[in-house]
């Protein structure tokens, strides 16, 4: 891998040339709510001083709702209108790991063209980050990335170290090579080492991830699940914000007065009540506790069997989002034997009233 | 991974292929038989599947649902389904007529491990709509009769009028190379000449089971499993030679939508056929 340097004042000029013909998506601050990935029309909107966006970048590849087909009596016309060339700038390591999990998932046995076409049309320009109290990515070992990006920008105060991760990334640099500096000085390396050390120490939350698969197994029938099930509102928010949740539903929406339909695919959540219903109305997972168990089996124990590894990338979104504090941190700490007193106390007072 | 990909539309596994309903007629009050042919002749003939696999059928305006294939790959060209009215898609299917078009995708799922079963005794136990996937196996065994040793069929229904494929199975009783036992819980017709009682009452009728050399294939309503499994274990049939096919809310069939997840497996890819051992091993299976 090649590493070069970019001085900070050259960032926007660089983004400007590469986004002339391609939509640029980057984090933007939304008043009173947080950051979102948004298509940029004015560079001043870009706010790189963010921890996590409300929704993960999965929404750029598979929007919450989009058309798969325009269907008529004997013809299904494919609709790929959600796919367009994009540059995604400012994505953090945990979210890049999230995309790597999605990549494997959506190409496993059958290739999902709605995902892969959107993915192939998007350049990934990662950006380094600084953890807050909810970031778990050091425990999930997703706080650094070695693959999955075209370029990666490490912020060293007055300049960036730019890691070139693909030949497409290399092409981007060549569009305006004069903005970059090929020479990395000894001082830059020292700065990078110092940055890494300080960042490693800035993590405030830890989960003993390697113990989770065994503990999930051993505590499968623990009363903790019933308690969590009682409190869960079945709102599905945790699923919507998680970068590795992929479930969806498909609806056939007939056009009024015509013999045609839109086949619409929209995000679904295993935490919702009717998720596991089969034809005839039987529901294999009527209990909220059973649905939470499924969610946490995937996040903490293993994803699909062949993937063989938990699917939490430690982004902290479920922690920031769940209205009743059910999240990987509280669940993992409880499994690990901690009482997490403040959590359970508040839980009993507020939630179980 | 046992899924062998044989897609109708390799570039987009979600794209339904037009298929025509060749025949349809009622099997019971709420179950209908559908025989369909993929409209594109070349694709119809190239369509390959294994016994125990399923397909997604779609009706414009109503949506898509999974159905076990009830025909056998040993009779190519036409696909058969037996479908119970139980939701939007099946209601729409019931309203169609012969010659109407539907959409089809597939085949999906692992299917029964036919190669392992070859040369062995086959004990098929079915009830209710469990005939849908198991009729495929049964016809396959009969079409390739020399490749299997004993073929035994136990079939249970509530009443004669609810026995799916009743006439077909009664005819099969004539065959010398099939041990066929049929039972109804109660006979409301007074014309039933076969057994009366639940399906497990048929077990004493089969003798000299050689458990090590027997594969048992089971499918039926959830209540049936418990009792049938007990009988099979009593016969000493090894747990990994007892195969069952399970229903889940499959939405995509190709391991993407997540709806069929159990623990950390996806039934549409790793199932719908599981061994009794898998079922003991995975907590949520039944
Ligand atoms: S489980 Fe929570 S912390 Fe882990 S990836 Fe999903 S939203 Fe992020
Ligand atoms: S765990 Fe929290 S965010 Fe998830 S469904 Fe339950 S209440 Fe909603
Ligand atoms: S049916 Fe969609 S993942 Fe199995």
Reply yes or no on whether the pLDDT at A170 is more than 70. yes
In terms of pLDDT, which residue wins out, B274 or A343? B274
Reply yes or no on whether the pLDDT at A278 is more than 70. no
pLDDT band, residue A283 (cuts 50/70/90)? low
CA of A240 to the centre of ligand 2 (A): 10
Backbone torsion region of residue B218, taken as left when φ is above 0, otherwise alpha when ψ lies between -120 and 50, otherwise beta? beta
Question: Which of the residue ranges A119-123, B151-155, B185-189 would you say has the lowest mean pLDDT?
Answer: B185-189
Q: Specify whether the CB–CB gap between B79 and B58 falls below 8 A.
A: no
CA of B28 to the centre of ligand 1 (A): 49
Q: Report the complex ipTM.
A: 0.89
Question: Which of the residue ranges A187-201, A270-284, B229-243 would you say has the lowest mean pLDDT?
Answer: A270-284
Read off φ and ψ for residue A78, nearest 5 degrees: -65, 140
Residues facing residue B25 across a β-bridge: B33
> Which residues in chain A have Cβ-Cβ distances shorter than 8 Å to B270?
305
**Ligand at shortest distance from the CA of A230:** 2
Of B52, B35, B53, nearest in space to B44 by CA: B35
CA R_g for chain B: 18
Determine the distance from the C-alpha atom of residue B235 to the mean position of all C-alpha atoms in its chain, rounded to a whole number: 23
Cis peptide before A251 (omega within 30 of 0): no
Alpha carbon separation from B143 to B9, B80, B284 (Å, rounded): 29, 16, 36
Average pLDDT over residues B182-187: 92
Q: Degrees (nearest 5) of the Cα angle A130, A133, A138?
A: 60
Nearest CA to ligand 2 atom 2: A322
* Closest A-chain CA to B16: A76
Average pLDDT over residues A71-85: 92
**Ligand at shortest distance from the CA of A55:** 1
Reply yes or no on whether the pLDDT at A296 is more than 70. yes
Alpha carbon separation from A152 to A103, A145, A168, A170, A182 (Å, rounded): 19, 9, 13, 11, 15
CA of A328 to the centre of ligand 1 (A): 7
pLDDT at res. A71: 93
**Integer Cα distance of A50 and A35 in angstroms:** 7
pLDDT at res. B2: 47
pLDDT at res. B49: 94
Alpha carbon separation from B200 to A4, A44, A142, B206, B232 (Å, rounded): 74, 75, 54, 11, 10
What would the pLDDT profile of B220-256 be if each residue is shown by its tens digit? 988 888 899 999 999 999 999 999 998 767 899 999 9
Determine the distance from the C-alpha atom of residue B244 to the mean position of all C-alpha atoms in its chain, rounded to a whole number: 10
Q: Does B97 touch chain A (CB under 8 A)?
A: no
Residue contact A270–B251, C-beta within 8 A: no
> Helix, strand, or coil here: A303?
coil
Backbone torsion region of residue A207, taken as left when φ is above 0, otherwise alpha when ψ lies between -120 and 50, otherwise beta? beta
Reply yes or no on whether the pLDDT at B4 is more than 70. no
Q: Which of A73, A111, A278 sits opposite B249 (nearest CB)?
A: A278
Residue contact A108–B255, C-beta within 8 A: yes
**Integer Cα distance of A231 and B247 in angstroms:** 30
Q: Specify whether the CB–CB gap between B151 and B145 falls below 8 A.
A: yes
Question: Which of the residue ranges A123-137, B114-128, B236-250 would you say has the lowest mean pLDDT?
Answer: B236-250
Residue contact A304–B3, C-beta within 8 A: no
Query: Read out DSSP for B235-272?
Result: TT--GGGEEEE-----SSSSS-S-TTEETTEEHHHH-S
pLDDT at res. A339: 57
**Integer Cα distance of B119 and A263 in angstroms:** 46
Task: Classify residue A46 by its DSSP letter.
Answer: B
Structure tokens at A148: 């999955």
pLDDT band, residue B164 (cuts 50/70/90)? very high
pLDDT at res. A302: 77
Residue whose token pair is 């036992």: B181
**Integer Cα distance of B101 and B21 in angstroms:** 6
pLDDT band, residue A257 (cuts 50/70/90)? confident
What would the pLDDT profile of B260-269 be if each residue is shown by its tens digit? 888 778 899 9
Task: Classify residue A301 by its DSSP letter.
Answer: I
pLDDT at res. A130: 96
pLDDT at res. A308: 59
Question: Which of the residue ranges A116-125, A147-156, A300-309 would you say has the lowest mean pLDDT?
Answer: A300-309
| Average pLDDT value for chain A | 89
Pocket of ligand 1 (CB under 6 A): A 136, 241-244, 299, 312-318, 328
In terms of pLDDT, which residue wins out, A337 or A151? A151
Alpha carbon separation from A227 to A248, A296, A301, A324 (Å, rounded): 27, 15, 20, 12
Reply yes or no on whether the pLDDT at B3 is more than 90. no
CA of B107 to the centre of ligand 2 (A): 36
Contacts of A216 (CB under 8 A, 6+ apart): A296, A297, A300, A301, A335
pTM, entire model: 0.91
**Integer Cα distance of A165 and A170 in angstroms:** 8
- pLDDT above 70 covers what percent of chain A? 90
What would the pLDDT profile of A207-231 be if each residue is shown by its tens digit? 888 888 889 889 988 888 988 898 8
Reply yes or no on whether the pLDDT at A304 is more than 60. no
| Average pLDDT value for chain B | 91
Q: How far is A285 from chain B (nearest CA, A)?
A: 9
Q: Does A71 touch chain B (CB under 8 A)?
A: yes
pLDDT band, residue A336 (cuts 50/70/90)? confident
E-strand spans in chain A?
A: 2-7, 23-30, 34-39, 65-72, 75-78, 86-91, 122-127, 151-156, 159-164, 180-181, 248-254, 260-267
Q: Which of A275, A279, A305 sits opposite B264 (nearest CB)?
A: A305
**Integer Cα distance of A47 and A30 in angstroms:** 10
């Amino acid at each position: 891998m090649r590493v070069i340097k970019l001085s900070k004042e050259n960032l926007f000029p660089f983004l400007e040339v590469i986004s002339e013909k391609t939509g640029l998506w980057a984090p933007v601050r939304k008043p009173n709510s947080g950051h979102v990935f948004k298509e940029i029309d004015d560079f001043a909107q870009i706010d790189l001083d963010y921890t996590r966006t409300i929704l993960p970048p999965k929404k750029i590849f598979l929007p919450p709702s989009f058309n798969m087909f325009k269907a008529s009596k004997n013809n299904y016309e494919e609709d790929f209108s959600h796919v367009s060339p994009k540059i995604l700038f400012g994505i953090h390591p945990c979210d890049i790991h999230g995309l790597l999990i999605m990549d494997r998932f959506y190409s496993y046995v059958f290739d999902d063209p709605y995902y892969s076409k959107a993915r192939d049309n998007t350049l990934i320009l990662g950006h380094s980050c600084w953890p807050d109290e909810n970031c778990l990515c050091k425990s999930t070992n997703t706080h650094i990335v070695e693959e999955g990006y075209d370029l990666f920008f490490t912020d060293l105060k007055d300049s960036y170290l730019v890691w070139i991760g693909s030949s497409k990334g290399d092409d981007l640099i060549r569009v305006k090579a004069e903005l970059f500096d090929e020479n990395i000085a000894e001082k830059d390396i020292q700065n990078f080492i110092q940055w890494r050390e300080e960042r490693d120490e800035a993590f405030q939350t830890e989960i003993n991830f390697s113990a989770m698969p065994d503990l999930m197994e051993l505590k499968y029938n623990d009363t903790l699940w019933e308690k969590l099930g009682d409190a869960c509102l079945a709102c599905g928010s945790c699923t919507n914000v998680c970068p590795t949740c992929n479930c969806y539903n498909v609806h056939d929406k007939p056009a009024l007065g015509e013999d045609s339909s839109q086949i619409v695919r929209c995000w679904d959540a295993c935490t919702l009540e009717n998720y596991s219903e089969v034809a005839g109305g039987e529901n294999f997972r009527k209990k909220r506790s059973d649905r939470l168990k499924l969610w946490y089996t995937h996040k903490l124990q293993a994803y699909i069997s062949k993937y063989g590894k938990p699917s939490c990338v430690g982004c902290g979104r479920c922690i920031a989002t769940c209205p009743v504090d059910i999240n990987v941190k509280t669940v993992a700490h409880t499994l690990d034997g901690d009482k997490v007193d403040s959590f359970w106390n508040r839980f009993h007072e507020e939630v179980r009233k | 991974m046992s899924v062998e990909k044989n897609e109708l539309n390799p570039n987009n596994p979600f794209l339904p292929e037009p298929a025509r309903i060749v025949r349809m007629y009622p099997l019971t009050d709420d179950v209908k038989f559908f025989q369909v042919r993929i409209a594109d002749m070349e694709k119809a003939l190239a369509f390959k599947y294994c016994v125990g696999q399923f397909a997604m059928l779609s009706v414009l305006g109503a949506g898509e649902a999974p159905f076990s294939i009830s025909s056998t790959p040993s009779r190519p060209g036409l696909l058969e389904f037996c479908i119970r009215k139980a939701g939007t898609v099946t209601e729409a299917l019931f309203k169609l007529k012969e010659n109407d078009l539907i959409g089809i995708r597939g085949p999906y799922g692992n299917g029964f491990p036919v190669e392992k079963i070859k040369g062995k005794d086959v004990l098929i136990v079915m009830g209710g709509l469990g005939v849908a996937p198991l009729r495929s196996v049964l016809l396959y065994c009969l079409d390739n009769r020399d490749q299997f040793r004993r073929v035994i069929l136990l079939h249970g229904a509530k009443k004669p009028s609810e026995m799916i494929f009743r006439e077909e199975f009664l005819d099969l009783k004539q065959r010398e190379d099939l041990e066929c036992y049929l039972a109804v819980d109660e006979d409301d017709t007074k014309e039933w000449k076969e057994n009366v009682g639940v399906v497990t009452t048929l077990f004493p009728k089969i003798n000299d089971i050689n458990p090590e050399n027997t594969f048992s294939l089971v499918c039926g309503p959830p209540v049936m499993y418990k009792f049938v499994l007990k009988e099979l274990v009593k016969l000493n049939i090894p747990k990994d030679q007892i195969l069952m096919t399970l229903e889940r809310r499959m939405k995509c069939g190709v391991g993407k939508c997540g709806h069929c997840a159990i623990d950390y497996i996806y039934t549409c890819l790793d199932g719908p056929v599981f061994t009794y051992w898998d079922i003991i091993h995975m907590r949520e299976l039944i």
